[in-house]
Structure 1
Amino acid sequence: MVQRSARRYEGSCHCGAVRFAIVTDFPELTTCDCSICRRRNALMVKVHESRFELLDGAGALAEYRFHTRTARHYFCKVCGIYPFHRKRVTPDHYGINVHCLDDFDPEGIPVRQTVGAAME
């Protein structure tokens, strides 16, 4: 396992209309088996809202909610990429799609499968 210290990472959607930054040490990455996560196949890191900053593109974001309508999934209106979402169980946290981070390699970070499909 790769030990990382907390630092700032920047990321974006594919077209660059949405840009954001996070601070994390990547304790783990997660996948989820809910219907939307299975389809988008994202690999996520959880960060507290105080460690997330939307740098640009608030107007380019579309929001999607389903099931309990608690989790808030964000997509770029221009290119359709999912960069992050507000979490359902911990709404003061974001789930960040690590594939949207600039120059980030997830190699060596443990991946935990979360169960979303069976959530009530």
Structure 2
Amino acid sequence: MDLVKHTGGCHCGAVRFEVLSSPDLHVFQCNCSICTKKQNHHFIVPKNHFTLLQGSDNLTTYTFNTHVAKHTFCKTCGVQSFYTPRSNPDGYGVAPHCLDPVTVRSVTVETFCGEKWEESMQAHKSIRDMSKSATETQLTETK
């Protein structure tokens, strides 16, 4: 899979990041309680494909329920441009609408039933692997 370097950030510009991902984004639209309220559409990447360029001191985090998901947002403008998802705590969920548009070729949206989170995670065949690098996925498949 060809990866490109996307850049993006929050509304006020205090938080900036870069992320390696396909130019063709696979975005999740979740209907859990917080994703519904925030319209949190996101694509998942491995931690080592994400770099915070600026603004670590301008980030704050909200957690609830299991406290696994870390909903990180800018203290100034309130925009969540990325977060640590419960489904993939070893990666990041990145908001495609917070990317600079130059490197995005296409966006495919998949609905995820967060209202029935446990059942949906069991039924989904690939979501947990989305936060693994290609090397990690290949090693897992050969075991």
TM normalised by structure 1 equals 0.88
User: Can you list the C-alpha shifts for 1:64-119, whole angstroms capped at 9, x where unaligned?
Assistant: 00111110011100000011111212211110011110125867432111122222
SS in 2 for 1:110: strand
Indicate the larger mover: 40-49 or 73-82.
40-49
Larger radius of gyration: 2
Q: Which has the larger share of helix?
A: 2
2:55 aligned to which of 53, 57, 61: 57
Work out the percentage of aligned pairs sharing the same amino acid. 37
* Cα pair 2:19 2:50 within 8 Å, conserved: yes
Give the whole-Å Cα distance in 1 for the aligned partners of 2:88 and 2:71.
Answer: 14
Q: From the superposition, tell whether residues 41 and 47 of structure 1 become closer, same or farther in structure 2 (CA, over 3 Å).
A: same
Partner residue, 2:107: 109
Following superposition, which runs of at least 4 residues in structure 1 exceed 6 angstroms of deviation?
none
| Larger RCO (alpha carbons 8 Å, 6+ apart) | 1
Counterpart of 1:10 in structure 2: which amino acid?
T
Counterpart of 1:22 in structure 2: which amino acid?
V
**Aligned pairs, number:** 117
Partner residue, 1:74: 72
Partner residue, 1:9: 6
List alignment gaps of at least 5 residues for structure 1.
Answer: none
SS in 1 for 2:116: coil
Partner residue, 1:89: 87
1:21 aligned to which of 8, 18, 39: 18
